[in-house]
Each structure stands twice: as C-alpha cells, then as structure tokens.
A and B are shown apart, each in its own frame.
Chain A
Amino acid sequence: MESGTRTDGQGIAIPPHHLVQVTLAADGETLASLELGPAVSRNPVLTLALPDGIAGATLELEWRDNLGDSGTRSLVIDERTAATR
C-alpha cells in the first residue's frame, strides 16, 4: 500500500498503490462491499464481524487494487472458527 505522497531517495514521487475494492461473499451471496483509499495502511488489517449461522459456509474474498490487479481467496468456515469469531 503506497499512499502516493511519498518520494524515493531521489525525490521522485512513488505512485499510489493500494486496494480499492474488497468484496466478501458467503456461498455466493455478498455479505459486504468495501471501497478503500490510499489512507489504508501498508499490510492492512481489515476485520468484519460475520453473521450468525455462518458455520459451514464457504467465504469468498475478492480484491482489486488501483493498478488493476485483482485476486480471490476462499475458505470454509468450520464450527470452531464460527464459535470463536
């Protein structure tokens, strides 16, 4: 995550690079849409409170950054994880 306000050792501006969109879905149903800007920290920590009854669901996370890169991750929420969320 680069805010776009920093310069390198030669005084050249470092272009912004950060997440712009994150979408969280459970079993294909969207739970949350997030838009993020350059003020989010490097190596960001994002925490959402999952709804009740989520155990057994497959969570899918999609992300996109301001340079056009994107990716997805998924995991199954087991009973223990759901109980300790």
Chain B
Amino acid sequence: MERRAWLGRVARGGLGAGGALALSGALADDAAPERDDLDAALGRFGADDAAADPRLVVDVAADAWSGAFVMVRVDASALDGVRVLHLLRDDHGPATIASLEPRGALPARLSLTIRLERPCRLHALARTANGWVRAEATVATVGAPGCG
C-alpha cells in the first residue's frame, strides 16, 4: 500500500481492522529510515499508551557476541486474541524490525535473527481486543556491530 494512503487509514482509525491490511505498511519506507524511530513507530501504530504486560515476553541474550546475527524470541501466546505483534528496537533506524499477524490457531510467537549496530532495548508490541501491551529486553553489549 502506498505510504500516504496507509497514513490516511491510520488517521481514520482503521489500523488493525483485520485481515492482511492490518500489517500493510507496518514498516517504514526504506528510503527514509530516520523517520522510523521508536516514538514515530509507536505513534504510527497508535500504541503510545501500551501498558507493560508480563504475558508478553521478549527473550534475547544480554550480550550479543555478534551484532550481525542476534537471535530474538517474542512470545505473546499467553495473551488472548493477538491481532498483530511488532518487534522494534531503539537507538537504530529504522526502528521496526518485524511485524507478525497470526491467523486462526497459529500461536502468537516468533523467533528471528536480527542485526544490531550497538547496544539497545528491544520492544515488543502486541495488539489484542483489549488494546496494546508492550514488553522490552535489553541487549547490553554487542561484540561485533551488525551494520544495523
């Protein structure tokens, strides 16, 4: 979806209305990664007021031996009715790493390998029928930067 059209839909409160459209445009345009810092991403998702929830877990090693290949697990399967799950990072651009829209009986759980240029916090956001919840984890050291 063209970015302007997507922003218009967000402005009309249509984000996460269901189906594939909920994910469309979740990630910022590659040409302007500096515009996708963490705050901008939270605003774009409408998740500024997301509350911390222990049922949402971000699991990552505190010390990454290489920033080029950092394994992260995000688990929202303890939450009911997860419509979309985002993984973000601060202090890097673009902030949004990945977005998952689980359907049917698929558990809201994702593991993936990411790259980090420097220590940062990783943030998970999950949208349920009751609103947004969040969790975070810290990568304290990055051995060899991964050209984030």
Contacts and interface: CB of A to CB of B under 8 A. Distances in A.
A57 B89 CA distance: 35
B16 interface: no
A34 B109 CA distance: 12
Interface in B103-142: 103-107, 109-117
Interface string A39-69: 1111111111111110000000000001000
A63 to B, nearest CB: 13
Interface stretch (B44-52, B53-61, B69-77): B69-77
Chain B interface secondary structure, helix, strand, loop or mixed?
Answer: loop
Nearest to A45: B113
Which bucket holds chain A's interface residue count? 20 to 34
A46 B74 CA distance: 11
A51 B110 CA distance: 13
B102 interface: yes
Contact of A42 (B30, B68, B77, B96): B68
B109 A41 contact: no
B43 interface: no
A3 B98 contact: no
Given A4-B33, A45-B112, A37 B106 contact: no
A67 to B, nearest CB: 11
B92 A51 contact: no
Nearest to A21: B23
A3 to B, nearest CB: 5
B100 interface: yes
A41 B70 contact: yes
Nearest to B117: A5
A10 to B, nearest CB: 17
Contact of A66 (B30, B70, B96, B148): B30
Given A45-B111, A45-B113, A47-B112, A34 B100 contact: yes
Contacts of A30: 20, 103-104
B100 A3 contact: no
Interface of A: 3-6, 16, 20, 29-53, 66
Given A34-B99, A36-B27, A47-B110, 6 more contacts: A3-B148, A31-B104, A33-B103, A37-B98, A39-B114, A42-B115
